[in-house]
Structure 1
Amino acid sequence: MTASTINIPEPRRLADHSADRRMIMLAGAAVVVGTGAAFGAWVLLKLIALATNLFWFGRISAAPAEIVNARVGLAVVAIPVIGSLLIGLMARFGSEKIKGHGIPEAIEAILYGESRLSLKVAILKPLSSAISIGSGGPFGAEGPIIMTGGAIGSLFAQRFHLSAAERKTLLVAGAAAGMTGIFGTPIAAILLAIEVLLFEWKPRSFVPVVLGTLVAFAWRPMLLGAAPLFPFVAAPVQAWWPTEGLALGMGVLVGLEAALLSALLYRVEDAFHRLPVHWMWWPALGGIVVGIGGLIDARVLGAGYSNIQALLDGSLAVRVILALLVVKAIVWLVALGSGTSGGVLAPLLIMGGALGALLGQFLPGSTGFWAMVGMAGMMSGAMRAPLTGALFAVELTGHFDALPATIAAATGAYAISVLIMSRSILTEKIARRGRHILQEYTVDPHEFLQAEQVMTPDPAVLSGAMSIKDAVAYFGNGATHRTYPVVDAAGRLVAMVSRSDALRWQVESELPETSLAEALSDSSQQIAYLHSPIGEVADLMVESGVGRIPIVEVGTNRVLGILSRHDLLKVRSTRKRAEVDRS
């Protein structure tokens, strides 16, 4: 007699074909989501322009406008306060989820909220961010559009009742597509999804994210133009070894700047939490500091995309660069710490670029080149996304020949950030809510180790010819395990007998005079083979509720070993020892 089995070692079964179909379905959905995110990016930029014109020029227009050109006198202090007060009201009576950067909220929704975002967030986040940035808030549009694009993907998935994993894929696809719609950086957006948002590397998620991003990139020329967002004509220095060495050193300095900004941001946030007033009023209090910063230099107000362009062009005086480095940092830290709505990416680019341009005064080549290098380092150090930072800088400018230098800077900033900060500027916000996130990806050993490598070989077995009475006595005399394989004369698996079976037989008035093979002949037993991935064996344990799975020979069902829950736990400790044991 042989036990009924599930043949799990086959590499391609129905479940795998089902996964293929899901990937194709999600890829099709990502086309729709990417289109929605691209148009969402266009709407967000128009809303920002409309708010800027309304607040600073008193006109209703969606044409691009620069706050620095406004002539409002001392009202430069009042306007950010009014805009921030509106944000506080929207957050209290609309949704608290509109507060903050946008990216941490997307990460939290992915990891802890089953990737569910509401229609209210999809509407209020871009609206609140447009008011915030348009009234002078020192933020960028990337965080809001990542949240908005993610909400579009999440809502689409919820509409068609997709699973949490499928919702996550479309949420991230929408987020990456939204970022591409704003900046025209598809490669960096895909890498941001991988380094910051997905927390996995699977075809099911990677393919739809790429398709959604490419669709948004295809729409962008018709909506916002095809050229790089920040082109500059200054040629970078030649790619010889001192250049990369200098870029690496600059990356270290920018990484220190990123660590300092992150630490100061959460000190400011803690200070607001100690205020004896309702949080609804905090953005307005932060708006006062923003307005004072605007009095010092109006360039620190708003998204500041023109500042990024000027840093790259090398057209700013050292005094202005210092203002962007110091005053922009102060108003951004206070405004963001107050809990208003806005993104972190554009301000980080400005502050990283300002430090790069400042150091570039003493380095070979143009200051614009070093400003670009500083931007790559800042994004890498602050967000813990080195590949994203390096590619983002060159895609924004079109200077792909500078990629070795931006990678060097991104690596230097990333290394110093990891050494100094326990978390990134994004995950620190989530950690303060009691949810600690590890941004390091490793291969799950359960997915590549096989049962042969983990099992206990030649396990203790019971003969199928053993009587029920002898089996009860065996368990009663202190059997080592709770379950044992029952085998026939050739060592082939018949079934598994457990301590609970023995207890059930023991309470019967008269023990049956039958053998284990006869008593258990109708049992259905899950089995695995030597080359079965232990992750699949773990799934069998969960599905069947059985804590010990026999490992048998293919074809004969001869018992070769046993794999228990304890064996699975040992895999983790073995992997941990491999990380630190140098003996």
Structure 2
Amino acid sequence: MKDWMNPERLNRLKGSAILLALSAAVGAIAGVLTAVFGHGVLAMTEVREAYPLLMVLLPAGGALICLVYRRWGEECRRGMGLVFDAVEGRRKDVPTRLIPLAVGATWIGHLLGASVGREGVAVQISTAAASLLTPGLDNPRNKRSLLMAGVAAGFAGLFRTPLAAVFFALELFHTGVMEYESLLPALVAALTASAVSGALGVNPPVSGLSAAVPAFTVETIIGLVVLGIAAGLAGHLFVALLHGLHHRLEQWLPNPYLRIVLVGTLVALFGLVTGGRYNGLSEEITAIALAGGQLYAWDWLAKLCLTAVCLAAGFQGGEVAPLFTVGAALGAVLAGPLGLPVELAAAMAYAAVFSAGTNTFAAAILVGLELFGGQYFACLFLVCTVAYACNGSHSIYPQCPLNYGEEKH
């Protein structure tokens, strides 16, 4: 009894209770923000698909995005870099002005046909919201946990996969390290955000899978292993291309306006020629793949390259949704040669390319389980393990190994 009444222990319990309450608040705010943002992205997509000639305005839209960021939020262009800096204590917070800037820029991109995703912005705006509540915490470790809860809330609110969101936040910041200290706050925030966004009409990106679970024969195992290798290499290719293009475009076209206008022009022309197949979210490709339909053999590569070019040029959005599309298309194309059902291969690669591109393991498996069903656990585990191993610890995010010689904050 005396131990429970110890002032130091009582202070820790009080701090934990405040942290969990604030995590729930972050989840509620993130649920609203991601619902508004997600519905806006889908609305912009519908308008562009109804009026495809809007893509001719993509260069002008890119110039507008560049102008707004340079005038009102130059540092906000760093996006996920700000989230990493805030979580790692290199800066105080994620600036609140990032919320309207990132949301508006992403909506413009989707309206006019940039090949970008959405989860990066969802995570950023949710972490910015979490930053507003960190003054309520005295312990730096609790502040860090609240920001990580913001990451989980943003992912969960947008994709409605709260368990995957929790482990995405825990795995995100350090290569090969799971930061369990923030498990409970992330779980509270993710469950709350998913519930709130769901109540506001947000649905998971895909729903269920009709493919039968295959028997684990030698042929099936070999097919799944090869699929995992291909997914890992595709994820690694995306990471290398994204970072390489970002560096090269800055060298070749140092003027940011010229850079984004030129790329916007090329992407718009490509979109008009291909009927907008690879512009925006390209969810139709994912839907066809998961339904067992026929795709072009190059669909996955075209989507991968176009997304890397758009993001490297300065268009705002995310990388995860395009990784899902790349994976589904790649799996559908490889299903036949590997002797796997098209729907199954598409779903497994959907999760595995995400694993390789983000350098996360548990989060990718849980994405597959929450979207497609627990009966595919063995297949998901095998394919994601191989893809994660083949990636070589590279990531679209600025991850770094945890320095065990220094005390964690």
Change (3 A) 1:162 1:128: farther
CA contact (8 A) 1:103 1:147 kept: yes
Q: Provide the rounded CA distance (Å) in 2 between the counterparts of 1:31 and 1:404.
A: 33
Change (3 A) 1:149 1:218: same
For 1:231, the equivalent position in structure 2 comes to 207
Of residues 294, 298, 316, the one that matches 1:341 is 316
For 1:142, the equivalent position in structure 2 comes to 119
Which consecutive residues of structure 2, in runs of 5 or more, have no partner in the other structure? none
Q: Provide the rounded CA distance (Å) in 1 between the counterparts of 2:407 and 2:82.
A: 30
Q: Provide the rounded CA distance (Å) in 1 between the counterparts of 2:385 and 2:313.
A: 31
Of residues 322, 325, 328, the one that matches 2:300 is 325
**What is the count of residue pairs matched by the alignment?**
402
State the Cα distance separating 1:14 from its structure 2 match.
3.9
Change (3 A) 1:161 1:235: closer
CA contact (8 A) 1:232 1:312 kept: no
Quick one: which amino acid aligns to residue 61 of structure 2? G
For 2:30, the equivalent position in structure 1 comes to 37
Structure 1 or 2: more helix by fraction: 2
The SS at the match of 2:378 is: helix
Change (3 A) 1:104 1:351: farther
* Range 160-169 or range 111-120, more displaced: 160-169
Change (3 A) 1:106 1:126: same
Q: Provide the rounded CA distance (Å) in 1 between the counterparts of 2:201 and 2:283.
A: 14
Of residues 106, 126, 134, the one that matches 1:157 is 134
For 2:292, the equivalent position in structure 1 comes to 314
Change (3 A) 1:385 1:292: same
CA contact (8 A) 1:110 1:168 kept: yes
Quick one: which amino acid aligns to residue 281 of structure 2? A
CA contact (8 A) 1:37 1:175 kept: no
CA contact (8 A) 2:34 2:197 kept: no
What are the residue-to-residue correspondences of 1:148-547 with 2, within 5 Å? 148-158=125-135, 160=136, 162-197=138-173, 201-203=179-181, 205-224=182-201, 228-242=204-218, 243-297=220-274, 298-315=276-293, 317-319=294-296, 321-322=297-298, 324-396=299-371, 398-418=372-392, 423-427=394-398, 437-438=400-401
CA contact (8 A) 2:171 2:178 kept: no
Q: 1:437-463: CA deviations, max 9, x gaps?
A: 21x697x8999xxxxxxxxxxxxxxxx
Q: Provide the rounded CA distance (Å) in 2 between the counterparts of 1:200 and 1:355.
A: 29
CA contact (8 A) 1:194 1:201 kept: yes
Q: Provide the rounded CA distance (Å) in 2 between the counterparts of 1:178 and 1:445.
A: 29
Change (3 A) 1:238 1:165: same
Of residues 89, 95, 98, the one that matches 1:118 is 95
Which consecutive residues of structure 1, in runs of 5 or more, have no partner in the other structure? 1-9, 57-66, 429-436, 448-583
CA contact (8 A) 1:88 1:284 kept: no
Q: Provide the rounded CA distance (Å) in 1 between the counterparts of 2:142 and 2:337.
A: 51
CA contact (8 A) 1:373 1:409 kept: yes
* Range 121-130 or range 383-392, more displaced: 121-130
State the Cα distance separating 1:26 from its structure 2 match.
0.6
State the Cα distance separating 1:200 from its structure 2 match.
6.4
Q: 1:539-570: CA deviations, max 9, x gaps?
A: xxxxxxxxxxxxxxxxxxxxxxxxxxxxxxxx
The SS at the match of 1:318 is: coil
State the Cα distance separating 1:235 from its structure 2 match.
1.7
Q: Provide the rounded CA distance (Å) in 2 between the counterparts of 1:275 and 1:11.
A: 64
Q: Provide the rounded CA distance (Å) in 2 between the counterparts of 1:221 and 1:265.
A: 32
Which protein has the larger Cα radius of gyration, Structure 1 or Structure 2?
A: 1
Change (3 A) 1:28 1:127: same
Change (3 A) 1:280 1:369: same
Alignment RMSD, CA only? 2.7
The SS at the match of 1:425 is: coil
State the Cα distance separating 1:15 from its structure 2 match.
3.3
State the Cα distance separating 1:340 from its structure 2 match.
2.1
Quick one: which amino acid aligns to residue 187 of structure 1? L
CA contact (8 A) 1:88 1:282 kept: no
Q: 1:114-162: CA deviations, max 9, x gaps?
A: 450111112212222222222211111111000011111111223x364
TM-score by length of 1: 0.64
What are the residue-to-residue correspondences of 1:58-73 with 2, within 5 Å? 67=49, 69-72=50-53
The SS at the match of 2:109 is: helix
The SS at the match of 1:361 is: helix
Of residues 18, 25, 41, the one that matches 1:25 is 18
Quick one: which amino acid aligns to residue 380 of structure 2? T
State the Cα distance separating 1:88 from its structure 2 match.
0.8
TM-score by length of 2: 0.89
**Comparing both chains, which one has the higher relative contact order based on Cα–Cα distances under 8 Å and sequence gaps of 6 or more?**
2
Change (3 A) 1:240 1:53: closer
Change (3 A) 1:377 1:161: closer
Change (3 A) 1:295 1:327: farther
For 1:504, the equivalent position in structure 2 comes to none
Change (3 A) 1:104 1:413: farther
CA contact (8 A) 2:172 2:360 kept: yes
State the Cα distance separating 1:244 from its structure 2 match.
4.2
State the Cα distance separating 1:287 from its structure 2 match.
1.2
The SS at the match of 1:274 is: helix
For 1:520, the equivalent position in structure 2 comes to none
Query: Percent of counterpart pairs with the same letter?
Result: 23
Structure 1 or 2: more strand by fraction: 1
* Range 240-249 or range 180-189, more displaced: 240-249
Q: Provide the rounded CA distance (Å) in 2 between the counterparts of 1:358 and 1:11.
A: 60
Quick one: which amino acid aligns to residue 166 of structure 2? I
CA contact (8 A) 2:359 2:388 kept: yes
Quick one: which amino acid aligns to residue 314 of structure 1? G
Q: 1:99-126: CA deviations, max 9, x gaps?
A: 36x4443123211434501111122122
